[in-house]
A and B are shown apart, each in its own frame.
Chain A
Amino acid sequence: MKNIRNFSIIAHIDHGKSTLADRLIQLTGMVDERNFKDQILDNMDIERERGITIKSQAIALPYHARDGEEYVLNLIDTPGHVDFSYEVSRSLASCEGVLLLIDAAQGVQAQTIANLYLAMENNLEIIPVINKIDLATADVERVVEQIDSELGLDPFSCLKCSAKEGIGIEEILEAIVKRIPPPKGDPEGPLAALIFDAQYDSFRGTVIHCRVFDGTVKNGDIIRLMSNQATYKVEEVGRFLLAREKRDKISAGEVGYIFASVKTVSDVHIGDTITLDGRPCDKPLPGFKEFKPVVFSSIYPIAPEDYEDLAVALEKYKLNDAAFVYQKDSSIALGQGFRCGFLGLLHLEIVQERVEREYDLSIILSVPSVRYRFTLKDGSVEFVDNPAHYPDPSIIEKGEEPYIRATLLMPERYLGAVMKLCMEKRGVNSKLNYLSPGRVELTYEMPLADVIYDFYDRFKSITQGYGSFDYELLDYRESNLVLVDILVNGEKVDALSQVVNRDQARPRALHACERLKEEIPRQMFKIAIQGAIGGEIIARTTISPFRKDVTAKCYGGDITRKRKLLEKQKKGKKRMKTIGSVSIPQSAFLAVLKTNTDD
Chain B
Amino acid sequence: MNSEKIPGLYIHIPFCISKCHYCDFYSSTYVSAVPNFLNAVFKEMEMYRNRFDVFDTLYIGGGTPSLLSPKQLKDILTSVQKNFGLMADSEVTVETNPADLDQSPLESMRQMGINRINIGIQSFDEKVLGFLGRRHSAKQALSAIEASRKAGFENIGVDLIYGVPGQEMDSWLDTLKRAVAFSPEHLSCYQLTLGAETPLGIRYQAEEFLMPGEELQYEFFIKTSEFLEDAGYIHYEVSNFARGMQYASRHNQKYWDHSPYLGLGPSAHSFQSNRRWRNHRSLDQYLVAVNAGNLPVEETETLTMEQLRLEAVYLGLRTKRGVNFEDFKNRYQYDLFTEKREMLNRLLEEGFISIQDGRLSPTQAGLAVADSLALI
List A498-527 residues whose CB lies under 8 Å from chain B: 523-525
Determine if B350 and A552 form an interchain contact, defined as CB atoms under 8 angstroms apart. Answer: no
A residues near B141, Cβ cutoff 8 Å? none
Can you report 17 residue pairs joining A to B where beta carbons are below 8 Å apart? Answer: A547-B218, A548-B217, A548-B218, A551-B193, A553-B193, A553-B239, A554-B255, A554-B315, A556-B10, A557-B269, A559-B276, A560-B278, A560-B301, A566-B314, A566-B371, A581-B343, A581-B346
Stretch with Cβ within 8 A of B (4 or more), from A244-252, A426-434, A567-575:
A567-575
Using A548-B217, A550-B368 as known contacts, say yes or no to A566 and B374 having CB atoms under 8 A apart.
yes
Residue in chain A with minimal CB distance to B215: A547
Using A555-B255, A556-B269, A559-B269 as known contacts, say yes or no to A550 and B318 having CB atoms under 8 A apart.
yes
Looking at the assembled complex, report how far the CB atom of A564 sits from the nearest CB atom of chain B, in whole angstroms.
Answer: 9
Whether A66 is near chain B, meaning CB under 8 Å from some CB there, is: no
List B318-376 residues whose CB lies under 8 Å from chain A: 318, 342-343, 346-347, 350, 352, 365, 367-375
B residues near A557, Cβ cutoff 8 Å? 267, 269, 278
The CA of A562 and the CA of B312, in the complex, are separated in Å by: 12
Whether B204 is near chain A, meaning CB under 8 Å from some CB there, is: no
The CA of A554 and the CA of B193, in the complex, are separated in Å by: 12
B252: contacting residue among A549, A555, A581, CB under 8 A: A555
A residues near B367, Cβ cutoff 8 Å? 550
Residue in chain B with minimal CB distance to A583: B375
Whether B310 is near chain A, meaning CB under 8 Å from some CB there, is: yes
B239: contacting residue among A552, A560, A562, A569, CB under 8 A: A552
Whether B311 is near chain A, meaning CB under 8 Å from some CB there, is: yes
Determine if A547 and B214 form an interchain contact, defined as CB atoms under 8 angstroms apart. Answer: yes
Looking at the assembled complex, report how far the CB atom of B362 sits from the nearest CB atom of chain A, in whole angstroms.
Answer: 9
Instruction: Give per-residue flags for A355-368: 1 if the beta carbon is below 8 A from chain B beta carbons, else 0.
Output: 00000000000000
Determine if B368 and A563 form an interchain contact, defined as CB atoms under 8 angstroms apart. Answer: no
B residues near A36, Cβ cutoff 8 Å? none
The CA of A461 and the CA of B320, in the complex, are separated in Å by: 55
B residues near A552, Cβ cutoff 8 Å? 190-193, 238-239
The CA of A204 and the CA of B328, in the complex, are separated in Å by: 58
Whether B268 is near chain A, meaning CB under 8 Å from some CB there, is: yes
Determine if B221 and A559 form an interchain contact, defined as CB atoms under 8 angstroms apart. Answer: no
The CA of A546 and the CA of B255, in the complex, are separated in Å by: 27
The CA of A573 and the CA of B376, in the complex, are separated in Å by: 11
Whether B307 is near chain A, meaning CB under 8 Å from some CB there, is: yes
- Of B193, B218, B278, B375, most buried by chain A (CB within 10 Å of CB) is B375
Determine if A554 and B256 form an interchain contact, defined as CB atoms under 8 angstroms apart. Answer: yes
Whether B263 is near chain A, meaning CB under 8 Å from some CB there, is: yes
The CA of A253 and the CA of B239, in the complex, are separated in Å by: 81
A residues near B374, Cβ cutoff 8 Å? 566
Determine if A548 and B310 form an interchain contact, defined as CB atoms under 8 angstroms apart. Answer: no
Determine if A548 and B372 form an interchain contact, defined as CB atoms under 8 angstroms apart. Answer: no
The CA of A553 and the CA of B190, in the complex, are separated in Å by: 7
Interface residue count for A (Cβ, 8 Å)? Answer: 25
Using A525-B350, A556-B269 as known contacts, say yes or no to A547 and B365 having CB atoms under 8 A apart.
yes
Instruction: Give per-residue flags for A561-597: 1 if the beta carbon is below 8 A from chain B beta carbons, else 0.
Output: 0110011011001000000010000000000000000
List B176-219 residues whose CB lies under 8 Å from chain A: 190-193, 214-215, 217-218
8 A-B pairs closest in CB distance: A556-B269, A548-B218, A550-B370, A547-B218, A552-B190, A552-B191, A549-B371, A548-B368
The CA of A524 and the CA of B374, in the complex, are separated in Å by: 12
A residues near B238, Cβ cutoff 8 Å? 550-552, 554
The CA of A30 and the CA of B178, in the complex, are separated in Å by: 82
B residues near A581, Cβ cutoff 8 Å? 342-343, 346
Using A524-B369, A551-B193, A557-B278 as known contacts, say yes or no to A573 and B314 having CB atoms under 8 A apart.
no
Looking at the assembled complex, report how far the CB atom of B14 sits from the nearest CB atom of chain A, in whole angstroms.
Answer: 13
A559: contacting residue among B217, B315, B368, CB under 8 A: B315
Determine if B263 and A550 form an interchain contact, defined as CB atoms under 8 angstroms apart. Answer: no
Instruction: Give per-residue flags for B269-299: 1 if the beta carbon is below 8 A from chain A beta carbons, else 0.
Output: 1000000101000000000000000000000
Q: A555-B255, A563-B311 are in contact. List 10 more A-B contacts (CB 8 A).
A: A524-B350, A525-B350, A546-B214, A548-B369, A550-B318, A550-B370, A556-B10, A556-B261, A560-B301, A563-B310
- List chain B positions with a Cβ less than 8 A from chain A: 10, 190-193, 214-215, 217-218, 221, 238-239, 252, 255-256, 261, 263, 267-269, 276, 278, 301, 307, 310-311, 314-315, 318, 342-343, 346-347, 350, 352, 365, 367-375
Determine if B369 and A559 form an interchain contact, defined as CB atoms under 8 angstroms apart. Answer: no
Looking at the assembled complex, report how far the CB atom of B47 sits from the nearest CB atom of chain A, in whole angstroms.
Answer: 19
Using A550-B370, A552-B239, A563-B314 as known contacts, say yes or no to A570 and B268 having CB atoms under 8 A apart.
no
- Of A524, A566, A570, A573, most buried by chain B (CB within 10 Å of CB) is A524
Looking at the assembled complex, report how far the CB atom of A42 sits from the nearest CB atom of chain B, in whole angstroms.
Answer: 38
Looking at the assembled complex, report how far the CB atom of B23 sits from the nearest CB atom of chain A, in whole angstroms.
Answer: 11
The CA of A28 and the CA of B128, in the complex, are separated in Å by: 72
The CA of A553 and the CA of B269, in the complex, are separated in Å by: 15
B residues near A556, Cβ cutoff 8 Å? 10, 255, 261, 263, 268-269
A residues near B276, Cβ cutoff 8 Å? 559-560
Determine if A563 and B307 form an interchain contact, defined as CB atoms under 8 angstroms apart. Answer: yes
B residues near A562, Cβ cutoff 8 Å? 314, 371
Determine if B371 and A551 form an interchain contact, defined as CB atoms under 8 angstroms apart. Answer: yes
- Of A552, A560, A570, most buried by chain B (CB within 10 Å of CB) is A552
Looking at the assembled complex, report how far the CB atom of A273 sits from the nearest CB atom of chain B, in whole angstroms.
Answer: 60
Using A553-B193, A556-B10, A556-B255 as known contacts, say yes or no to A567 and B369 having CB atoms under 8 A apart.
no
List A43-80 residues whose CB lies under 8 Å from chain B: none
List A374-388 residues whose CB lies under 8 Å from chain B: none
Determine if B310 and A567 form an interchain contact, defined as CB atoms under 8 angstroms apart. Answer: yes
Using A525-B350, A559-B269, A570-B375 as known contacts, say yes or no to A550 and B369 having CB atoms under 8 A apart.
yes
B residues near A563, Cβ cutoff 8 Å? 307, 310-311, 314
Looking at the assembled complex, report how far the CB atom of B160 sits from the nearest CB atom of chain A, in whole angstroms.
Answer: 11
Looking at the assembled complex, report how far the CB atom of B361 sits from the nearest CB atom of chain A, in whole angstroms.
Answer: 15
Looking at the assembled complex, report how far the CB atom of A239 sits from the nearest CB atom of chain B, in whole angstroms.
Answer: 57
The CA of A562 and the CA of B372, in the complex, are separated in Å by: 12
Residue in chain A with minimal CB distance to B371: A549
Looking at the assembled complex, report how far the CB atom of A200 sits from the nearest CB atom of chain B, in whole angstroms.
Answer: 41
Determine if B352 and A524 form an interchain contact, defined as CB atoms under 8 angstroms apart. Answer: yes
The CA of A525 and the CA of B352, in the complex, are separated in Å by: 10
Residue in chain A with minimal CB distance to B270: A556
Looking at the assembled complex, report how far the CB atom of B365 sits from the nearest CB atom of chain A, in whole angstroms.
Answer: 7
The CA of A237 and the CA of B193, in the complex, are separated in Å by: 69
Determine if B311 and A524 form an interchain contact, defined as CB atoms under 8 angstroms apart. Answer: no
A residues near B252, Cβ cutoff 8 Å? 555
The CA of A573 and the CA of B343, in the complex, are separated in Å by: 15
B residues near A560, Cβ cutoff 8 Å? 269, 276, 278, 301
The CA of A547 and the CA of B190, in the complex, are separated in Å by: 17
The CA of A573 and the CA of B261, in the complex, are separated in Å by: 32
B311: contacting residue among A551, A559, A570, CB under 8 A: A559
Looking at the assembled complex, report how far the CB atom of B59 sits from the nearest CB atom of chain A, in whole angstroms.
Answer: 9
Residue in chain A with minimal CB distance to B350: A525
Residue in chain B with minimal CB distance to A562: B314
The CA of A581 and the CA of B374, in the complex, are separated in Å by: 15
The CA of A550 and the CA of B374, in the complex, are separated in Å by: 10
B residues near A547, Cβ cutoff 8 Å? 214-215, 218, 365, 368-369
Determine if B365 and A554 form an interchain contact, defined as CB atoms under 8 angstroms apart. Answer: no
Residue in chain A with minimal CB distance to B313: A566
A549: contacting residue among B239, B263, B372, CB under 8 A: B372
The CA of A552 and the CA of B191, in the complex, are separated in Å by: 6
A residues near B214, Cβ cutoff 8 Å? 546-549
The CA of A554 and the CA of B256, in the complex, are separated in Å by: 8
A residues near B307, Cβ cutoff 8 Å? 563, 567
The CA of A546 and the CA of B370, in the complex, are separated in Å by: 12
The CA of A563 and the CA of B217, in the complex, are separated in Å by: 23
A residues near B311, Cβ cutoff 8 Å? 559, 563
Using A546-B214, A550-B318, A552-B193 as known contacts, say yes or no to A559 and B255 having CB atoms under 8 A apart.
yes
A residues near B352, Cβ cutoff 8 Å? 524
The CA of A581 and the CA of B367, in the complex, are separated in Å by: 20
Determine if A548 and B278 form an interchain contact, defined as CB atoms under 8 angstroms apart. Answer: no
Looking at the assembled complex, report how far the CB atom of A285 sits from the nearest CB atom of chain B, in whole angstroms.
Answer: 61
